[in-house]
Amino acid sequence: MKKLLLVSLILASNAPAFAEETPITGNVQTRCLITTDTNGVFGNPSPTKLSTASTDGGVVPVVRYDVTLADAYLAKVTTPTEFSSSPALSDSVSWTGSTAVTKTTDAGMSIYETNKVTYGQTTQFDLTIAGSTWFSSESAALYGVNKSFPGGSYTAVILAECIAK
């Protein structure tokens, strides 16, 4: 009995493997396109503040969402919470930001602004209508407690996402 078992195991190990892995490929064409319409610029109304608001001498960044499929995507825009590049900072930076619908290609899209959801630095819009929507984000940074920013170049990034529902 023991020999018989051994022979069976050898036969099984020598049997050819009739198995094949067939790949399946496919492409999904995006129906949500995000484009930077206007690059933002920080204004420096005071030594302690950097702001994109036009009243502060800045330029508000604008991002455009082009959606060809209605009611299928969420737009999420997150204002910065840190500088991506800056001089060495020894104190904390306090960030504020907001995002709003500033222009649409359809009157019905104006409801996006009413129905937007904000949490933290992120604002979420439900893109229920096909077309283009422009979102403007204002961002401001305060350094320490009435502390002046060190001289140099400052860069921050706004994150715009299109999330399928």
Give the other-Cβ count within 10 Å of 165's Cβ.
9
Closest to other proteins by CB, 83 or 125: 125
Find the shortest distance in angstroms from Cβ 134 to other proteins: 8
Encoded one letter per residue, x for contact with other proteins by CB under 8 A and - for no contact, window 55-74 reads --------------------
Nearer to other proteins, 138 or 141 (CB): 138
In angstroms, the Cα distances linking 143 to 33, 41, 44 are 35, 17, 12
- Check residue 95 and give left, alpha or beta (phi > 0: left; psi -120 to 50: alpha): beta
Q: What is d(CA 115, CA 136) in angstroms, rounded to the nearest whole number?
A: 16
Of 109 and 140, nearer to other proteins (C-beta) is 109
**CA 63 – CA 4 distance, rounded (Å):** 74
Site string for other proteins, 89-108 (x = CB under 8 A): ------------xxxxxxxx
- Is 118 one of the binding residues for other proteins (CB under 8 A)? no
**Residue 163 in tokens:** 């999330």
Residues of this chain that bind other proteins (CB under 8 A):
101-111, 113-114
